[in-house]
């Protein structure tokens, strides 16, 4: 069976660990106090779900995901249209757009952080002649995090949308032009409806990706100013505090949240999974 | 289109905007890496005082005591090994999926898709615990294994999309003409499959090169830490100086190869990223 090695490799680090995470989440297990390990039932879930930190982090994560994916959709669509319609310089645009995609997220996060650090290294404040202490406030910190996220992942969105654009028959536009439709009407009456499947697939993958946001926040704020995401919370519990019980409960809850998001997209919005493809960030 | 027309000007401005959007953060980090420690906080986009000291500092202490060289070697080795194994496994699976009819084919594709959506953070805790007890914590295989898992779906999807385009009948034609099965595969199919395979390899390499979450959770020292994780642990030359310049220099070094890659292989990367994304 030619698929066996690949299937085993894929299950080894997903199905088995998630099962193991469920087991861990039902225990009082803190590596600092290994002798006090005991079964805890669902109490870890109770602790997580009744803590205001968890809900604050869920709110942050959802906020970051919704805003960044919306901006990316608009920006990605614009870039896709540029790449599709450009009469010259198509290669340059394509190369430029691939740079954010290829760059290590940590590097991008540092670049954005250093650019906005006020009264220190940043060029943004002097360039705009403003004095905002970006990383000392909740909303301004979130804004920089979202900008970095948008910059890094818009190319992926743009490329998926471009693939959708190229499947649209040019004849439709010619016919619409003859019938007197202007550019705006052509976009909303032809481009958008025909691209709906491609848009939904891109949205699904980017939403799930944004929901897992970790690198940008870890580098830029480490969760300071209330900018923690659920992944950062999981990391703090699991690795920094080595509280495997509580941390695993967070992990399992994140897994369930991802399942819900995927379910909503597939069932309610009708994403046909056959058209889906793995994201690559 | 002729130069000097209004449309030409509009397109030029649009293209410049896209270029600025993509390049500004990169140019900024290059600029930071070239600034002297005294001028790193001057807030100017273009360095006034140029220096290569930030780069030199990275390589001081060499492989064993330096902050950067060992992680750099780790990054290259781990990404290359992961890519080689992932592509080999994915090639077998993709060949079977693209060419053969067998039960469970759709299950494998759906499973691969599910893994692509899987939140990596959910596996970090169990892996941390398992790797510590079986001795894989802070080792190369400890990172390579999760990289395989999370890059295989991407590799399989890209390869299946490419392999479906290959005219497999050519193989039989070659055999009719007297080629052995091995010759038919090597001389006819392999050259056709190579571009797609190469594309998948680039994407997997970028994925491994990029990873941060597994790199910081499953390693504890520079003996197997990759550059993205090592960057987060950089310290300044003294307690009172931020390592901004050094981080920027290291960032530039690990970014340049990716940018060169992207420039040379942009067509392939786009084809790979959108392969099978939308079926007409």
More confident residue, A223 or B75: B75
Predicted pLDDT at B263: 84
Q: Rounded to 5 degrees, what are φ and ψ at B143?
A: -95, -35
Domain segments of chain A as ranges: 16-275
Cβ neighbours of A28 (radius 10 Å): 17
Q: A30 - beta bridge partners?
A: A243
Tens of pLDDT along chain A (281 residues) come to 677 777 877 777 778 888 888 888 887 777 777 766 777 677 788 888 888 888 999 999 999 999 999 999 999 999 888 888 877 777 888 888 888 988 999 999 999 988 888 666 788 887 787 878 888 888 989 999 999 999 999 988 888 888 888 888 888 888 888 888 888 888 888 888 888 888 888 888 889 888 989 999 999 888 888 888 889 998 988 888 888 888 888 989 998 998 898 888 887 776 665 555 555 44
| A226-252 pLDDT per residue, tens | 888 889 998 988 888 888 888 888 989
CA pair distance A116, B129, nearest whole angstrom: 37
Inter-residue contact B276 to B161 (CB < 8 Å): yes
Contact of A165 with chain B, judged by CB distance below 8 Å, is answered with: no
| Closest chain B residue by Cα to residue A12 | B149
- Rounded to an integer, the average pLDDT of B19-39 is 87
Task: Tell me the pTM.
Answer: 0.88
Instruction: Please give the Cα distance from A144 to A137 (Å, whole number).
Output: 11
Cα–Cα distance measured from residue B249 to residue A111, given in angstroms and rounded to the nearest whole number: 11
Structure tokens at A253: 């809850």
Please state the CATH superfamily assignment of the domain spanning residues A16-275 in this structure: MetI-like (1.10.3720.10)
Q: How close A219 gets to chain B, by Cα (Å)? A: 7
Q: Environment class of residue A202 by beta-carbon count within 10 Å: exposed (0-12), middle (13-18) or buried (19+)?
A: buried
How, if at all, do strands A27-28 and A38-39 pair? antiparallel
Please state, in angstroms and rounded to a whole number, the distance separating the CA atoms of residues B196 and A143: 39
Q: DSSP assignment of B219-239, as one string?
A: --STTT--HHHHHHT---SST
> A24: nearest CA in chain B?
B126
Instruction: Give chain B's mean pLDDT.
Output: 84
pLDDT at position A280 is 44
The kind and range of the H/E element at A260 are: helix A244-263
d(CA B201, CA B154): 10
Establish if B126 touches chain A: CB-CB under 8 angstroms: yes
Q: Do B11 and A86 touch (CB under 8 A)?
A: yes
pLDDT at B278: 42
Q: Which B positions 12-51 lie with beta carbon below 8 A of chain A?
A: 12, 14-15, 18-19, 21-23, 25-26, 28-29, 32, 40-41, 43-45
Cα distance between residue B21 and residue B140, in whole Å: 36
Tell me if A92 and B278 make a contact (CB, 8 A cut-off): no
Q: Is the pLDDT of residue B44 over 60?
A: yes
Closest CA to A187 of A94, A69, A74, A66: A74
Task: Output the six-digit token pair for B269.
Answer: 């990367």
Q: Does domain B60-274 have CATH number 1.10.1760.20?
A: no
Ordered by start, the domain boundaries in chain B are 60-274
Please provide the size of chain A in residues: 281
């Amino acid at each position: 069976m030619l698929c066996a090695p690949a299937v085993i490799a894929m299950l080894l680090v997903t199905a088995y660990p998630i099962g193991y995470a469920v087991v861990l989440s039902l225990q009082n297990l803190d590596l600092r106090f290994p002798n006090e390990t005991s079964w805890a039932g669902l109490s870890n879930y109770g602790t997580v779900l009744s803590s205001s930190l968890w809900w604050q982090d869920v709110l942050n994560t959802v906020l970051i995901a919704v805003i960044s994916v919306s901006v990316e959709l608009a920006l990605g669509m614009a870039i896709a249209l540029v790449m599709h319609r450009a009469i010259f310089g198509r290669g340059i645009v394509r190369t430029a757009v691939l740079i954010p995609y290829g760059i290590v997220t940590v590097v991008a996060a540092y670049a954005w952080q250093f650019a906005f650090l006020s009264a220190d290294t940043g060029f943004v404040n002097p360039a705009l002649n403003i004095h905002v202490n970006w990383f000392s406030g909740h909303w301004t910190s979130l804004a920089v995090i979202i900008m970095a996220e948008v910059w890094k992942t818009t190319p992926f969105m743009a490329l998926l949308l471009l693939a959708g654009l190229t499947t649209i028959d040019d004849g439709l536009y010619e016919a619409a032009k003859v019938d007197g439709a202007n550019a705006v009407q052509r976009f909303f009456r032809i481009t958008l409806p025909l691209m709906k499947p491609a848009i939904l697939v891109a949205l699904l993958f980017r939403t799930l990706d944004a929901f897992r946001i970790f690198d940008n926040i870890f580098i830029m704020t480490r969760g300071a100013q209330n900018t923690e995401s659920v992944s950062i919370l999981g990391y703090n519990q699991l690795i920094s505090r080595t509280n495997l019980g509580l941390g695993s409960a967070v992990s399992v809850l994140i897994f369930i949240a991802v399942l819900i998001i995927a379910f909503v997209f597939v069932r309610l919005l009708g994403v046909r999974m056959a058209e889906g493809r793995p994201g690559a960030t | 289109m002729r130069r000097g027309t209004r449309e030409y000007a509009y397109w030029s401005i649009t293209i410049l905007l896209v270029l600025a959007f993509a390049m500004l953060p990169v140019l900024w980090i290059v600029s930071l890496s070239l600034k002297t420690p005294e001028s790193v906080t001057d807030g100017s986009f273009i360095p006034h005082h140029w220096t290569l000291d930030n780069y030199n500092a990275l390589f001081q202490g060499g492989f064993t005591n330096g902050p950067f060289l060992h992680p750099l070697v780790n990054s290259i080795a781990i990404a290359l090994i992961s890519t080689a194994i992932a592509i080999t496994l994915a090639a077998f699976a993709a060949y079977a999926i693209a060419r053969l009819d067998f039960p469970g084919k759709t299950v494998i594709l759906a499973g691969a898709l599910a893994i692509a959506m899987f939140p990596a953070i959910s596996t970090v805790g169990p892996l941390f615990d398992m790797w510590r007890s079986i001795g894989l914590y802070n080792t190369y295989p400890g990172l390579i294994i999760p990289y395989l898992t999370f890059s295989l779906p991407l590799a399989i999807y890209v390869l299946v999309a490419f392999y479906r385009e290959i005219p497999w009948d050519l193989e039989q034609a070659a055999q009719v003409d007297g080629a052995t099965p091995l010759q038919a595969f090597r001389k006819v199919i392999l050259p056709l499959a190579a571009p797609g395979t190469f594309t998948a390899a680039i994407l997997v390499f970028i994925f491994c090169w990029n990873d941060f979450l597994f790199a910081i959770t499953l390693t504890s020292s520079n003996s197997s830490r990759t550059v993205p994780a090592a960057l987060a642990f950089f310290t300044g030359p003294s307690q009172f100086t931020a390592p901004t310049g050094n981080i920027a220099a290291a960032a530039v070094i690990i970014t340049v190869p990716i940018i060169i890659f992207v420039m040379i292989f942009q067509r392939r990367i786009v084809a790979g990223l959108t392969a099978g994304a939308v079926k007409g």
